[in-house]
């Protein structure tokens, strides 16, 4: 039964357990203890930036102390850490609003205020969500905040143990500076290291060493402050003002490398989104370059404050690049530890990736020797993009360099390859394998060599995937020399090479016999126009998968069964001709020879005989016959 009532519903406020909420904020929002230092230094930098902005209209706010600074004071005896700034400061009412209300951000309110008018040029405000301050309770069991607003006469003290309540009251103005904010952390026992210089200095330099305010450190309350950060960031300076030594020192310090960068990319992007980029291509290959779990090494800053080194700024095939991106307008999530998926981030990813590839192309054109070294170290990784990044495939193909059957140990570009195409050649031919020397001497290349056709020799695992993905370059498709018919008959032979004679009836009959004898071990047996020196070779069926790719997939357990290969026989080879001449009385010899030809082709392809015992027995019978033993 359904009943109705005309009574209006009651409107009630949500209730919250503030102590529980603070506990969640401290232990769930942030996963890294050190983040509190970054947050408090960022807040201090914001306060200095607010003062600079307001002093444009009211210069008197600066008084006799115009230079912004942040001072960190350590007190290991009392287990205290103090972070102080000479920025805008707060009145008692502002402290109640900013510190007494979780998720009420003074920075956000300030941003909204200036957004109502013209955008403040150079405004560099970090906080957006008003919860960063509470990260102090990760390491402190009490936090005292003393502040006086610039231009004001009164000072106030806010204090809390982070368990749900706080106190706020006036304090003698003589106990605080003329302006600014002092945050005192009474550290927990397990956080005593944060009152030690060796711990605090390194963390501040790593996380906040580039904020636009100088940072000073006092080792003890009565010690002289020493500057540990100058408020300048290398990437914000003009490239013309930076020496190669400066770049190298920065690269080694921030990337943890000991070599010299092979390429430095430094620029500022302006327009819809503004950000600075400083990226380095190493001169040597990192030891973990091919680790499947290896992430990129690009750090993300927002207005010169370090945010994370786990942002996927570059695609995986550029994971060897070291450096940073400093965004002016990237939105952050509530903890700043993970960036939101946003159009801004997508725009940065696209812009930085395109610029890096453009700079690599420029290096290839202007300094080919240096680029060759880069390719030798990182070419195998860059080629992953040919398979993964369809939109930039053409750019990556122009970057790519290959060793070929005609170039020896030299690298060739695809532009060079296409420029040297033979008459009637309509494809870019390639061979895939694990060993360069074995590929270069592969029997499948013989017919190409007889016509002077260059073949790309591909020895990286990723080559099997991108080369067989239907890719082309300047309208020329890539075609494996071990797949399907070679289609070489239309391409003229080199001068001095004798044209192939017609396959005799005897040889044709022998090829049919071999096919019948081998049965299901192969999908076909046919005369070859790609062999000129060897007797046999294996190729994939016309519609089958490239043999090397098939081996990789089978080895990784991604194929239930492999296709049967095609055995190609050179009808002009002396061995084939003599075997074809054997009569019916030599049926046993012909049968052994058929199986041995298949095993010979397998061995030439880097495989083992499928049945080693049968192979050994057949070989023994052939040898005995040859020395008159049977």
Q: What is the CATH number of the domain that holds 517?
A: 1.20.120.790
User: Across the strands, what pairs with 538?
Assistant: 567
Range among 27-31, 80-84, 318-322, 618-622 with highest mean pLDDT value: 80-84
In degrees and rounded to multiples of 5, residue 296 shows phi and psi of: -70, 170
Specify whether 211 is located in the same domain as 289: no
Asked whether the beta carbons of 218 and 71 are under 8 A apart, the reply is yes
Specify whether 179 is located in the same domain as 35: yes
123, pLDDT greater than 50: no
Annotated ligand binding at 563? The verdict is no
Chain centre to alpha carbon of residue 277:
15
CA distance 605 to 602: 5
Specify whether 185 is located in the same domain as 215: yes
In degrees and rounded to multiples of 5, residue 231 shows phi and psi of: 75, 15
Which residues, at least 6 apart from 123, have a Cβ–Cβ distance to it below 8 Å?
49, 53, 114
566, pLDDT greater than 80: yes
Choosing from 205, 229, 253, the residue where a domain stops is 229
> Does residue 392 belong to any structural domain of this protein?
no
pLDDT at residue 305, rounded to an integer:
76
Specify whether 38 is located in the same domain as 69: yes
Express each pLDDT in 422-431 by its tens digit. 999 999 999 9
CA–CA distance from 511 to each of 131, 316, 321, 521, 566 (Å)? 80, 49, 55, 15, 12
> Does residue 413 belong to any structural domain of this protein?
no
> Does residue 388 belong to any structural domain of this protein?
no
Annotated ligand binding at 494? The verdict is no
Whole-number mean pLDDT of the chain?
Answer: 86
CA distance 107 to 576: 85
Local structure of residue 464 (DSSP, 8 states)? H
Range of the domain at 267: 234-373
Specify whether 185 is located in the same domain as 150: yes
Determine what percent of the chain is predicted with pLDDT higher than 90: 54
> Does residue 10 belong to any structural domain of this protein?
no
Helices 106-115 and 92-99 pack at an angle, to 10 degrees, of 110
Asked whether the beta carbons of 47 and 41 are under 8 A apart, the reply is no
Annotated ligand binding at 128? The verdict is yes
Specify whether 73 is located in the same domain as 216: yes
Specify whether 242 is located in the same domain as 165: no
CA distance 278 to 263: 11
pLDDT at residue 521, rounded to an integer:
94
Specify whether 76 is located in the same domain as 107: yes
Annotated ligand binding at 132? The verdict is yes
Annotated ligand binding at 478? The verdict is no
Annotated ligand binding at 133? The verdict is yes
Express each pLDDT in 375-419 by its tens digit. 999 999 999 999 999 999 999 999 999 999 998 889 999 999 999
Confidence of residue 127 (pLDDT cuts 50, 70, 90): very low
Which residues, at least 6 apart from 381, have a Cβ–Cβ distance to it below 8 Å?
289, 290, 317, 318, 319, 320
Cα within 13 Å of Cα(495), Cβ side: 0
Choosing from 373, 390, 418, the residue where a domain stops is 373
pLDDT at residue 519, rounded to an integer:
94
> Does residue 464 belong to any structural domain of this protein?
no
Annotated ligand binding at 628? The verdict is no
Annotated ligand binding at 336? The verdict is yes
> Does residue 104 belong to any structural domain of this protein?
yes
Asked whether the beta carbons of 60 and 151 are under 8 A apart, the reply is yes
Asked whether the beta carbons of 188 and 140 are under 8 A apart, the reply is yes
Give, for 335, the enclosing helix (H) or strand (E).
Answer: none
Confidence of residue 332 (pLDDT cuts 50, 70, 90): low
Specify whether 143 is located in the same domain as 242: no
3, pLDDT greater than 80: no
CA distance 116 to 113: 5
Q: For 26-153, where are the alpha helices, taking DSSP H only? A: 35-57, 92-99, 106-115
Asked whether the beta carbons of 438 and 486 are under 8 A apart, the reply is no
Specify whether 135 is located in the same domain as 52: yes
CA distance 166 to 143: 10
Long-range contacts, stretch 619-623, CB < 8 angstroms, 24+ apart? 621/588, 621/589, 621/592, 622/589, 622/592, 622/593, 622/596
Choosing from 177, 199, 229, the residue where a domain stops is 229
**Exposure class string for 66-100: b at 16+ Cβ within 10 A, else e:** eebbbbbbbbbeebbbbbbbbbbbbebebbbebbe
Determine what percent of the chain is predicted with pLDDT higher than 70: 87
> Does residue 270 belong to any structural domain of this protein?
yes
Annotated ligand binding at 570? The verdict is no
Lowest mean pLDDT segment, chosen from 72-81, 196-205, 222-231, 327-336: 327-336
Lowest mean pLDDT segment, chosen from 252-256, 474-478, 516-520, 570-574: 252-256
Task: Say how many domains are in the chain.
Answer: 3
> What CATH number is attached to the domain comprising 338?
3.30.230.80
Specify whether 124 is located in the same domain as 241: no
Annotated ligand binding at 84? The verdict is no
> What CATH number is attached to the domain comprising 125?
3.30.565.10
Confidence of residue 80 (pLDDT cuts 50, 70, 90): very high
**Which candidate, 610, 604, 429, 454, places its Cα nearest to that of 533?**
604
CA–CA distance from 131 to each of 32, 59, 101, 111, 555 (Å)? 15, 31, 9, 16, 51
Specify whether 58 is located in the same domain as 178: yes
**Which candidate, 307, 313, 206, 201, places its Cα nearest to that of 254?**
206
> Does residue 477 belong to any structural domain of this protein?
no
């Amino acid at each position: 039964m359904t009943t109705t009532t005309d009574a209006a519903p009651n409107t009630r406020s949500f209730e919250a357990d503030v102590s529980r909420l603070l506990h969640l904020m401290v232990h769930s929002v942030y996963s890294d203890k050190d983040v509190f230092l970054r947050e408090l230094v960022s807040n201090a930098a914001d306060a200095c930036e607010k003062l600079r902005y307001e002093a444009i209209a009211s210069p008197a706010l600066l008084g006799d102390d115009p230079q912004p600074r942040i001072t960190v004071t350590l007190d290991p005896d009392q287990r205290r850490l103090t972070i102080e700034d000479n920025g805008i400061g707060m009145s008692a009412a502002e402290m109640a609003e900013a510190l007494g209300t979780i998720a009420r951000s003074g920075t956000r309110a300030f941003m909204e205020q200036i957004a109502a008018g013209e955008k403040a040029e150079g405004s560099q405000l970090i906080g957006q969500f008003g919860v960063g301050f509470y990260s102090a309770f990760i390491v402190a069991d009490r936090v005292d905040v003393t502040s006086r607003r610039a231009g004001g006469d009164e000072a106030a003290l806010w204090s809390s143990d982070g368990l749900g309540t706080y106190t706020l009251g006036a304090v003698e103005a003589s106990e605080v500076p003329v302006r600014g904010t002092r945050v005192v952390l009474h550290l927990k026992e397990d956080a005593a290291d944060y009152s030690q210089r060796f711990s605090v200095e390194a963390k501040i330099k790593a996380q906040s060493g580039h904020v636009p305010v100088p940072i000073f450190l006092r080792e003890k309350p009565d010690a002289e402050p020493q500057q540990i950060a100058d408020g300048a960031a290398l990437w914000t300076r003009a490239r013309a003002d930076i020496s190669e030594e400066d770049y190298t020192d920065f690269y080694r310090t921030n990337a943890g490398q000991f070599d010299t960068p092979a390429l430095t990319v430094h620029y500022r992007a302006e327009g819809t989104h503004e950000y600075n980029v400083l990226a380095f291509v190493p001169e040597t290959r990192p030891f973990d370059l091919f680790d499947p779990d290896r992430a990129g090494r690009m750090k993300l800053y927002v207005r010169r404050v370090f945010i994370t080194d786990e942002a996927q700024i570059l695609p995986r095939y550029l994971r060897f690049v070291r450096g940073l991106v400093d965004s002016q307008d990237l939105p952050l999530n509530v903890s700043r530890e993970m960036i939101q998926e946003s159009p801004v981030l997508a725009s940065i990813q696209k812009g930085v990736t395109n610029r890096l590839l453009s700079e690599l192309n420029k290096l290839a054109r202007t300094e080919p020797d240096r680029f060759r070294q880069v390719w030798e170290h990182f070419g195998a990784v860059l080629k992953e993009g040919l398979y993964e990044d369809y939109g930039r495939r053409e750019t990556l193909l122009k970057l790519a360099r290959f060793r070929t059957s005609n170039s020896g140990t030299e690298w060739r570009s695809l532009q060079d390859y296409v420029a040297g195409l033979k008459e009637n050649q309509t494809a870019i031919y390639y061979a895939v394998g694990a060993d360069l020397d074995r590929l270069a001497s592969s029997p499948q290349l013989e017919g190409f060599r007889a016509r002077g056709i260059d073949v790309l020799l591909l020895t990286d695992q990723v080559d099997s995937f991108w080369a067989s993905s239907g890719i082309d370059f300047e309208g020329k498709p890539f075609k494996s020399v071990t797949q399907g018919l070679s289609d070489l008959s239309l391409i003229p032979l080199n001068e001095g090479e004798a044209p192939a004679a017609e396959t005799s009836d005897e040889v044709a009959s022998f090829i049919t016999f071999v096919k019948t004898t081998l049965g299901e071990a192969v999908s076909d047996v046919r005369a070859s126009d790609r062999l000129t020196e060897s007797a046999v070779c294996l190729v994939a069926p016309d519609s089958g998968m490239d043999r090397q790719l098939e081996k990789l997939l089978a080895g990784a357990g991604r194929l239930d069964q492999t296709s049967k290969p095609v055995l190609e026989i050179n009808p002009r080879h002396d061995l084939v001709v003599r075997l074809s001449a054997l009569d019916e009385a030599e049926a046993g010899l012909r049968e052994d020879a058929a199986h041995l030809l298949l095993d010979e082709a397998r061995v030439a392809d880097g495989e083992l005989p499928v049945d080693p015992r049968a192979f050994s027995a057949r070989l023994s019978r052939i040898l005995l016959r040859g020395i008159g033993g049977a």
